[in-house]
Each structure stands twice: as C-alpha cells, then as structure tokens.
Amino acid sequence: MRVLSSIVMCLFIIAAFGQAENKYVGVAKCKACHTSDKMGGLAYKVWEKTPHANAYKTLLGDAAKKVAKDKGLKTAPSESPECLKCHVTGGGAAKNVDAGFKKEDGVTCEACHGAASGYLNLHNKKDDASKAKAKEAGLSLGDKTGKACEACHNAESPTHKEFKMKDMWAKIEHGLPPKK
Ligand code: HEC
Ligand code: HEC
Ligand code: HEC
Ligand code: HEC
C-alpha cells in the first residue's frame, strides 16, 4: 500500500513538473490551423472578434486609467500585475513564454486550453491515444460549467458583473469542425 502510494505521489510530481515546464507559444501558432473547417475549426476567427482579444488593449484606455486611479495604483494599468493577472494570458509575466508570445494579444486560447509547448505537436489527431497524450501534456479542453472562467470573472475584477455561463459562453462559442 505504502509503495503504491509513493509511486502515485511520484507520478503526481512528475505530472505537475511536466505541466509547469510548458511554455506559452502565442496565439499566432493557433491561428495557423484554427481558421478553417477543413482543419481545426473556426476558433481563431471567433476569438479575434471577442473582447478577450482586446483585453490588454483595454488596459491602455481611459476607462482603465480611471479604474486604476480609483484603486490607488501608482503604475500604469498596462504595467501593473494587479491588472495583467486577468487581462493577459499567464498574467503578463515575461517568464515561461516563447518568442512568439505577445502580451498585446490579451486573453488567448492558452489562457483556457493551457500553455501549449508540450501539446502543440501532439493534439491535432483524431484518435483516442493521441488525444490522451495531448491531455497528459497539458491540453485542457475547457469546462462548460464556467468554473475555469471564474478564475478571472470574479469579484476581484474591479468592474465585475455577475457571471452567467450560459450567456457568456454563447458570446464566445467555438469548437471543432462539424462532423461529416
Ligand atoms: C498544425 C495545425 C494545428 C495547430 C498549429 C494548432 N491546432 Fe489545435 N487542432 C488541430 C486539429 C486538426 C484539431 C482537431 C483534432 C480532431 O479532429 O479531433 C485540433 C484540436 C484542438 C483542440 C480540441 C482537442 C480535442 O481533443 O477536442 C483544442 C483545444 C486546440 N486544438 C487548441 C489549440 C491551441 C490552443 C493551439 C495553439 C497553441 C492550437 N490548437 C494549434 C490543429 C492544430
Ligand atoms: C485569464 C482570464 C480570463 C478567463 C480565464 C476568462 N475570461 Fe472572459 N474576460 C476576461 C477579461 C479580462 C475580459 C474583459 C476584456 C475587455 O473588455 O478588455 C473578459 C471578457 C469576457 C466577455 C465579454 C464581456 C461581456 O460581459 O460580454 C465574455 C463573453 C467572456 N469574457 C466569457 C468568458 C468565458 C465563457 C470564459 C470561460 C470559458 C472566460 N471568459 C474566461 C478574462 C478572462
Ligand atoms: C480578477 C480578474 C481581473 C482583474 C484583477 C482585473 N480585471 Fe479588468 N476585467 C476583468 C473581467 C473578467 C472583465 C470583463 C467584464 C467584467 O466582468 O468586469 C474586465 C473588464 C475590464 C474593463 C472593461 C469594463 C467594461 O465594462 O468595458 C476595464 C476598463 C478593466 N477591466 C480594467 C482593469 C484594471 C485597470 C485593472 C487593474 C486595476 C483590472 N481591470 C483588473 C477581470 C479582471
Ligand atoms: C475563455 C476561454 C477560452 C478561450 C479564450 C478559447 N477557448 Fe476553446 N474552448 C473553451 C471551452 C470552455 C470549450 C468547450 C469545451 C467543451 O465542449 O466541454 C472550448 C472548446 C474548444 C474546442 C473544441 C473542443 C472539443 O473537443 O469539442 C477547440 C478546437 C478550441 N476550443 C480551440 C480554441 C482555440 C484555437 C482558441 C484560440 C483561438 C480557443 N479555443 C480559445 C474555452 C476557451
């Protein structure tokens, strides 16, 4: 029993480290395939029109400056970890990102599907074994309950509005190409 549980612990630690090493590769990588129903579906085309794609740019505007002033921030919103933590994938910290990652892209695919360096070249096949490998390598399929969304859509947001998953998902809905 004890041997078994230490093996399980080791696997846990390995899994945790595996994920921690993944880097954010940037949304341009996803754009390469997720713009066509012949390939990975239209997710990119949906995403680029959602406010998520503008989340960093929002921090450069007057509304953001006012929010920051009311909170007594001394730095510009676009340079404040207090704002970047939700307005940029990965919180805007420069570490853990590939050269292709741009904070200007705001809340990208990887904010919800996980940092992609580990699964990028594994995830685009249909068979179950490949899908399982991609998940092990850090691919998150998202969660329709809205729990994952509430990591950012919560009362810590200075402009928080009540979050209703059904309505909010309808505004960003995307997926795989339709089955033939
Ligand atoms: C080389 C092309 C290619 C690139 C680059 C690519 N994808 Fe995909 N992706 C695909 C294809 C094809 C599928 C559909 C696989 C299938 O039919 O189940 C897919 C499926 C997915 C899925 C659903 C997986 C599942 O099992 O349902 C997610 C999520 C996803 N991609 C996210 C991303 C993200 C995030 C990026 C950028 C970091 C990205 N993809 C980059 C081709 C690509
Ligand atoms: C990494 C943080 C983060 C996560 C995770 C996240 N969001 Fe957002 N979301 C934001 C930010 C920041 C904005 C505001 C963007 C702006 O206007 O600049 C936003 C805005 C939106 C908007 C537009 C605002 C509105 O009221 O219409 C919708 C819709 C939305 N998110 C849906 C979702 C859904 C659904 C999920 C989960 C599947 C989700 N978000 C997960 C950060 C996040
Ligand atoms: C806990 C996550 C979180 C933090 C921290 C956060 N935001 Fe946001 N922000 C959001 C979300 C989610 C939205 C989308 C609408 C909503 O629910 O407020 C948003 C929307 C906004 C908007 C657009 C509001 C509108 O109605 O169009 C502005 C401006 C803004 N945030 C500025 C800031 C500034 C400035 C900071 C730092 C002081 C900050 N935010 C910190 C999550 C966050
Ligand atoms: C705000 C969070 C969020 C963002 C941003 C986001 N997704 Fe998703 N995505 C989800 C959720 C939630 C699902 C639904 C999973 C489910 O059906 O259970 C999903 C589903 C998908 C699916 C279909 C998975 C399946 O098996 O049906 C693909 C493919 C996908 N996303 C790719 C992308 C790509 C590519 C981007 C960026 C261009 C992106 N997503 C941006 C949250 C997000």
pLDDT in tens, 105-118: 999 999 999 999 99
Cα(50) to centroid(ligand 3), Å: 15
Cβ of 164 less than 6 Å from ligand 3: no
If pLDDT is split at 50, 70 and 90, which confidence band does 99 have? very high
Residue 114: alpha-carbon gap to chain centroid? 6
Percent of the chain predicted with pLDDT > 70: 89
Cα(55) to centroid(ligand 2), Å: 8
CA 118 – CA 69 distance, rounded (Å):
40
**pLDDT of res. 18:** 46
Answer yes or no: is pLDDT of 9 > 60.
no
**pLDDT of res. 93:** 79
- Residues 4-18 have a mean pLDDT of 52
Closest CA to 49 of 165, 172, 146: 172
Q: Which residues line ligand 1 (CB under 6 A)?
A: 25, 29-30, 32-34, 39-40, 109-110, 113, 116, 120, 123-124, 126, 131, 141, 176
Amino acid at 132: A
Cα(9) to centroid(ligand 2), Å: 35
Answer yes or no: is pLDDT of 129 > 50.
yes
If pLDDT is split at 50, 70 and 90, which confidence band does 4 have? low
- Residues 156-162 have a mean pLDDT of 96
Cα(31) to centroid(ligand 4), Å: 13
CA 63 – CA 9 distance, rounded (Å):
47
CA 87 – CA 60 distance, rounded (Å):
11
CA 26 – CA 103 distance, rounded (Å):
9
Q: Mutation test of ligand 4: which of 29, 120, 174 has the most ligand atoms closer than 8 Å to its C-beta?
A: 174
**pLDDT of res. 1:** 59
**pLDDT of res. 13:** 47
Answer yes or no: is pLDDT of 165 > 60.
yes
